Structure 1
Amino acid sequence: CTTVCCLCLGILSLRDLVCMLVRFLSRRRRRPLFLVLDRFLEQSVAHPDKKFLVFGEESYTYSYTDLQSNKIANALRAQSGYKAGDTVAMFMGNEPSFIFTWLALTKLGSPAALLNHNIRSKSLLHCFNCCKASVLIAASDLKDAVKDVLPSLLEQNVTVLLMAKDSDTTGIQSFSEQVEEATDAPLPRSLRSHVTFKSPAVYIYTSGTTGLPKAAVVNQNRLLTALVILSSNGVKQTDIIYVNLPLYHTAGFLVGLIGSIETGTTIILKRKFSTSQFWDDCRKYNVTVIQYIGEVMRYLCSAPKRDNDKDHKVKLAIGNGIRAEIWREFLNRFGNIQIREFYASTEGNVGFVNYTGKIGAIGRVNFFHKKLFPYALVKYDTELDEPVRDANGLCIETRKGEPGLLVSKITDIAPFAGYAQNEEQTERKRLRNVLKKGDLYFNSGDLMSIDEENFIYFQDRVGDTFRWKGENVATTEVSDILTICDCIKEANAYGVQVPGHEGRIGMAAVTLTDGVQFDGSKIYNHVVKCLPSYARPRFIRIQDAVEVTGTFKQIKMKLVEQGFDPGRIHEPLYIIDDRVKSYIPLTAEIYSNIQSGNIQL
């Protein structure tokens, strides 16, 4: 029965794929160019009084959004330092002005650089300079962050606009008053006549778990394809989607915003994710579709249980990064919600969707998908940090069930636009001579595996996997195992170097469950039972909170650099001790003996 259901759903996904392609190609042939903006304008004409956006107690119709974006666009045109088509950097959080401003820029044919509103100083300047913007539009509450980099911006003759009615800082203009006084007359299409499908639409910055963020170029063609993300997953005009992920990132922007423009769905916009308010908001606004990414689902499952956990109208959750045991717990606790796990990256050229609901899988691969978007899993040497190659210099494809690096062929249908002003990083993502001489593939940096039923599973990021005792260790697996233990709330696993030892040994930074003490014996018995000896974390570091990026990706590099030195780390440290079958405090004496080689690990 399960096999038949999976087959039917596989056919359904193929049908959906064909429908999407037909719709996409028909739009591609339209003249003048049909862009995402044109789909929004269609919706605003067809449903002018329908709620497009709800933010707290305020709501905004499609018609209002259209007119307000006209006002912003006309106010921007009046700026002496700006001309239509110039790149504009948006430094704003999740608020209605973000959406109004982005629509205004599309009407002017201007690419928008979506700056992470959490960055400051050096990172802020770096991200701004990546896209060569001539204007910075910032939210009023980010004024101090703008002031910190203002001298550098003014040196570059950047026009700095603040979404506020007044500004007492020379060089920062108050923009809100100008917007209020501007006309809401439509913008002539000629202002964006220079735009092609290959033109940059937005710059979305990668999370930057190490180093400075990179500005991935999302062109108009890619944006057009993003329209179908929600509709292809069954979302209708009558649905209400809860968008609490950052709009500056792929999930919030492409899935939440762009996907909703296609369907005519109402967006419930939240300034940021809140575990305690999540389900109350869903009930208050009659939400039917939710998004998730990274650890969001686990945060929801770790919240105190309520009697009304299943009292809601949510029918679909779409996102990526949910772990198998959290998937099961989420369904048991919150009811029969269809989970559409997918795999994609901001700059990548291949994606997978789990239409079948197979717990733990990110999708199911088939012949047609591979024909349209050629990809392969190739053997990867985590020690050398590069693909394994044969005598002819070509990559070696993995067998079923064997982890391999996902690479996807760069073609006209599946292009890779690269990173703005960063050819070095762009080239690092290109992989040549993969399956035959002269071919060109995108290096996803992700390790995957495919089982006998063609379900594909995410294993780990290349940089996160480490090698110990000749074995590859997936940090996500170790983290998953640790968090099953009821005294551990969160876990971030990684590998650290030990003098006199090859590879990296396992370590984990964890937070404890509220009101629970660290139990070294209990955790020891748990990891011994669940993990092979080479994968067991030899060191555990107790933290008040696991540090994550704006999209809940765990940050490892700083932890890796600090290693397990009690002289540098002022948080509790433990080491596994097989003699007493427990994790014991890591003292300066033990550390010294490890460093000198008196203790072998």
Structure 2
Amino acid sequence: MYILSALLATVAVLPLVLKLFFPYFWKDCLYLVDLISVLVTFAKRRRRKPLFFVLDRFLEQTTAHPDRPFIVFENKVFTYRDADQQSNKVARAIHTHANLKEGDAVVLYMGNEPAFIFTWLALAKLGCPAALLNHNVRSKSLLHCFSCSGAKVLIAAAELKDAVEDVLPSLREQGVTVFIMTRMCNTPGMDSLDDKTEEASDEPISPALRSGRTLQSPAVYIYTSGTTGMPKAAVVNQDRLLAAMAVLASNGVSPGDVIYLNLPLYHTAGFVIGFIGSIETGSTIILRRKFSASQFWDDCRKHSVTVIQYIGEVMRYLCNTPKRENDKDHKVRLAIGNGLRADIWKEFLTRFGNIEIREFYASTEGNIGFVNYTGKIGAVGRVNFLHRKVFHYALIKYDTERDEPVRDSRGLCIEVPKGETGLLVARITKVAPFIGYARNAQQTEKKILRDVFQKGDLYFNSGDLLRIDQENFIYFQDRVGDTFRWKGENVATTEVSDILTMMDCIEEANVYGVHVPGHEGRIGMAAVKLKEGKEFDCTNTYSHVASYLPSYAWPRFIRIQVNL
């Protein structure tokens, strides 16, 4: 009787003890279950014969519920069947008129619209990887980004026709086939695509056209500035894209959810999490051309949105809108994204209600990621035993002045203690590979650290400084290298300075990001030295910068100095 009483007392007290001394115990357990489930599902899919890809998951969803809304865009609804049939038509049009063969890369130069999704699905059916070009790039940057993928076909939205015409002579010299999404195009060297799509059959595409793909085949190229130099095309292969499908599902998103997608589809967040993640869950996507703070909650109410995506700036913009009585009148239960500052986090929850925030850390080309599954404000993740066993990562001492890791007398890196800021590095393994950048071995090599903890080991250099506190929560601190972040985009300082020094009046330019009160990230400032006898040409410099760089990369401040 005494033993039974003691056991009952222990059971009764246990929840209180856990809450007091291990407040995240149950959330840690649930995360472990989710992580194991994701790993098991991924392992099963990798072993399937014939090989299983993201496209196959889309076809499964189409067969299972063909009439379920897949994309809602500007009051038009496209079901899974609609998307499947329309992508068949696009695939046939491209295959017939572009002389594409399996493995050929195609550049998509488009904004957020259903045609973007249909075209990517079409290319997947042909076994062709797509390079997702930022629709803000122009001129020199456009040509540079296009050449990164090695593509010979460019598909552009109708509104980007003028931007393509600016670089058309160079594209024609390279023998590039250019399609514009219109029914008619009279420009020599460019061809219309919509008319050809309308005439094509919507019958299924033969799997034989993509039979040569493997899990290592490129699925998509996503451009990133990383931490150095011009934009680079990060290679996302079929294996990595298959694993990335689990992001929404592992955060509790289900087929009944409605996902609000207003982040750019050419970025990882919009494409991989919003679009590819929805294919896994079989959810409905509410697609917007771009983010609008004033229409955000009205859209959410109109479409009964349950899941939203964000970057830090999005949440701040929403908090800056005039307060309304119906701010908490919505069905949004989950927000997933990154870059959310602690003060904005608190303000957002206070104003818009009890929405679960899933802040995460990841990078397009990286081999490590974290998710804050506990809701701890300000954290990007939490150290977890199983996660660390599968993905070997560490924070190492970093000399920000010399821009390199600190090494000991043996030439090995030094792990920082808890509470100190360090450079995040993750061991490159079969489970956590680093594929690198397309046609850019030099920049790929720059992201690899050798001899980190023992001679011969290889680690991915994230370029990010993080901190782990005494409770094992992970916090993002800063970036290293020649990059700053503005308007949710990475700006490569060397790219901007190269553009500035093309001006006849500028001899040297040093570009860097500066903080502006009331704004996320850093805005561009350029310190310039003028050529002898020259005056700064405001008007032509503005026109030059505007024609060569996307708007988020324009330097907003110019400092004219005698010496740099």
Q: Aligned match of 1:362 in 380, 387, 391?
A: 380
Q: Aligned match of 2:248 in 219, 227, 230?
A: 230
- Contact 1:405/1:444 (8 A) holds in 2: yes
Q: Could you give the per-residue CA deviations for residues 125-169 of structure 1, whole angstroms, max 9, x where no partner exists?
A: 111111111111111111001101111111111111111001120
Partners of 2:319 and 2:435 in 1: CA distance: 38
Aligned to 2:393: 375
Aligned to 1:518: none
- Contact 1:197/1:220 (8 A) holds in 2: yes
Partners of 1:394 and 1:155 in 2: CA distance: 49
Q: Aligned match of 2:194 in 172, 176, 182?
A: 176
Q: Could you give the per-residue CA deviations for residues 199-256 of structure 1, whole angstroms, max 9, x where no partner exists?
A: 1000000147864211000000010001110010000101000000000000000000
Aligned to 2:319: 301
Please state how far the C-alpha of 1:7 moved relative to its aligned partner: 1.2
Please state how far the C-alpha of 1:81 moved relative to its aligned partner: 3.6
Aligned to 1:51: 69
Aligned to 2:303: 285
Q: Report the residue type matching 1:126 in the other structure.
A: H
Partners of 2:212 and 2:199 in 1: CA distance: 28
Q: Report the residue type matching 2:403 in the other structure.
A: D
Structure 1 residues 295 and 464: alpha-carbon distance in aligned structure 2, compared to 1, 3 A threshold: farther
SS at match of 1:144: helix
- Contact 2:179/2:192 (8 A) holds in 1: yes
| Residue 438 of structure 2 corresponds to residue 438 of structure 1 | no
Partners of 2:74 and 2:436 in 1: CA distance: 37
Partners of 1:163 and 1:553 in 2: CA distance: 35
Structure 1 residues 241 and 562: alpha-carbon distance in aligned structure 2, compared to 1, 3 A threshold: farther
Please state how far the C-alpha of 1:463 moved relative to its aligned partner: 3.1
Partners of 2:440 and 2:313 in 1: CA distance: 30
Partners of 2:109 and 2:413 in 1: CA distance: 42
Q: Could you give the per-residue CA deviations for residues 284-320 of structure 1, whole angstroms, max 9, x where no partner exists?
A: 1110000001311111111211111111110000000
Structure 1 residues 449 and 55: alpha-carbon distance in aligned structure 2, compared to 1, 3 A threshold: same
SS at match of 1:449: strand
Structure 2 counterparts to residues 77-116 of structure 1, below 5 A: 77-116=95-134
| Residue 241 of structure 2 corresponds to residue 196 of structure 1 | no
Q: Could you give the per-residue CA deviations for residues 439-486 of structure 1, whole angstroms, max 9, x where no partner exists?
A: 000000000010111101100001389xxxxxxxxx99xx9xxxxxxx
Q: Aligned match of 2:160 in 128, 138, 142?
A: 142
Partners of 1:2 and 1:173 in 2: CA distance: 67
| Residue 516 of structure 2 corresponds to residue 510 of structure 1 | yes
Partners of 2:190 and 2:312 in 1: CA distance: 36
Q: Report the residue type matching 2:123 in the other structure.
A: L
- How many pairs does the alignment contain? 498
Structure 2 counterparts to residues 517-556 of structure 1, below 5 A: 554-556=522-524
- Contact 1:88/1:136 (8 A) holds in 2: yes
SS at match of 2:459: strand
TM-score normalised according to structure 2 size: 0.84
Partners of 1:555 and 1:102 in 2: CA distance: 33
Q: Aligned match of 1:390 in 388, 408, 419?
A: 408
Higher relative contact order (CA 8 A, sep 6+): 2
SS at match of 1:510: coil
- Identity fraction in percent: 65
Structure 1 residues 68 and 398: alpha-carbon distance in aligned structure 2, compared to 1, 3 A threshold: same
- Contact 1:85/1:191 (8 A) holds in 2: no
Name the stretch that deviates more: 391-400 or 290-299. 290-299
Q: Could you give the per-residue CA deviations for residues 81-115 of structure 1, whole angstroms, max 9, x where no partner exists?
A: 42233111101100000000000000000000000
Structure 2 counterparts to residues 189-588 of structure 1, below 5 A: 189-207=207-225, 211-463=229-481, 508-510=514-516, 554-556=522-524, 559=525, 561=527
Partners of 1:430 and 1:209 in 2: CA distance: 13
| Residue 41 of structure 2 corresponds to residue 23 of structure 1 | yes
Partners of 2:522 and 2:102 in 1: CA distance: 39
SS at match of 1:90: strand
Instruction: Flag structure 2 segments of 5+ consecutive residues without an equivalent.
Output: 1-18, 494-509, 530-534, 539-558
Partners of 2:229 and 2:429 in 1: CA distance: 29
Partners of 1:44 and 1:207 in 2: CA distance: 36
Q: Report the residue type matching 1:173 in the other structure.
A: D
| Residue 94 of structure 2 corresponds to residue 128 of structure 1 | no
Partners of 2:513 and 2:81 in 1: CA distance: 54
Structure 1 residues 10 and 560: alpha-carbon distance in aligned structure 2, compared to 1, 3 A threshold: farther
Structure 1 residues 150 and 392: alpha-carbon distance in aligned structure 2, compared to 1, 3 A threshold: same
Partners of 1:40 and 1:17 in 2: CA distance: 23
- Contact 2:516/2:522 (8 A) holds in 1: no
Please state how far the C-alpha of 1:77 moved relative to its aligned partner: 1.1
Structure 1 residues 364 and 153: alpha-carbon distance in aligned structure 2, compared to 1, 3 A threshold: same
Aligned to 1:583: none
Q: Report the residue type matching 2:51 in the other structure.
A: L
Q: Report the residue type matching 1:438 in the other structure.
A: G
- Contact 1:81/1:135 (8 A) holds in 2: no
